[in-house]
Amino acid sequence: MATSSASQSLRLRNPTTTTTSLSLSSKLPLSSAFSVSLRPRRASYRRLVLVVSAGLDAKPTILVAEKLGEAGLNLLKDCANVDCSYNLSPEELCTKISLCDALIVRSGTKVSREVFESSGGRLKVVGRAGVGIDNVDLAAATEHGCLVVNAPTANTVAAAEHGIALLAAMARRRARDRSLGR
C-alpha cells in the first residue's frame, strides 16, 4: 500500500455494517516493504485489529558508490542490504538508484538532479563519507525530500597525524642540515 500522499485513509465495513475509518498520517509514504491489513478478532467481529506486517525484504537497500573501509561496510550489512558498485557512470548511477533507499559517496561521485529524479522518490538519504557536500545538488535533494549528511570530523585524526609527521620531517631535515654545516 505505497502511495505518495501525505495522508492515507481506509474506509471499510465490518460485519455489523458499521463503517470503520482509519487514517495513517505521516510526512513520508509507507514503504513498499510494509503491508497493512485489517483482521477481525477471534470470537468477535465487533472489533477489528490493524496489522502492519513487514515483507521478507524489509531491510533498506544502500548503494555504496565508492570504496569504504571493511569495518564500515560490515556495520551497514548488519542492518541493510548493501550494494557495493564502484566507478559507476552517471547513467549507471541513475539506473541503480531507483532500487535504493540510501546512497553513500565520497568525493568522486557527483549526485546531480538527474540522480534524484531517477530515484522516483525512493532515495531518502545521501551520505557523504568525508568533509563537504559540494558534489551533491542540495536544491534537488530538498525538492525530492532527501536528507543529505556528511562526516565533517571523519579525517581529523589522519590530518593531525600528517601534520605531526611533516613537523617531524622538517625537524629531522633541519638537524641533518646543521650537522652537515649548511
pLDDT in tens, the chain (182 residues): 344 433 333 444 444 433 333 334 333 444 444 444 444 445 444 444 434 434 445 789 999 999 988 998 999 999 999 999 999 999 999 999 999 999 999 989 999 999 999 999 999 999 998 888 899 999 999 999 999 999 888 778 888 998 999 899 888 877 666 667 76
* H or E element at residue 53: strand 48-54
Per-residue DSSP letter, 111? B
In the numeric block, which cell numbers belong to residue 37?
491489513
Contact criterion met (CB below 8 Å) for 127 and 150: yes
Type of residue found at 48: L
Q: What is the pLDDT of residue 159?
A: 86
- Looking at residue 14, its pLDDT comes to 41
d(CA 7, CA 151): 34
Query: d(Cα 22, Cα 40) in Å, to the nearest integer?
Result: 15
Which own/partner pairs from 118-121 qualify as long-range (CB within 8 Å, at least 24 positions apart)? 118/94, 119/144, 119/146, 121/4, 121/29, 121/145
Q: pLDDT value at position 102?
A: 95
pLDDT at 122 (0 to 100): 92
**pTM, entire model:** 0.59
114 touches 95 (CB < 8 A): no
Is 135:90 a contact under the CB 8 Å cutoff? no
The whole-number pLDDT of residue 158 equals 85
Per DSSP, the residues of 151-177 read: -TTTTHHHHHHHHHHHHHHHHHHHHHH
Superfamily of domain 61-156: NAD(P)-binding Rossmann-like Domain (3.40.50.720)
Angle at 167 between CA 162 and CA 173, to 5 degrees: 125
Q: Determine the residue type at 9.
A: S
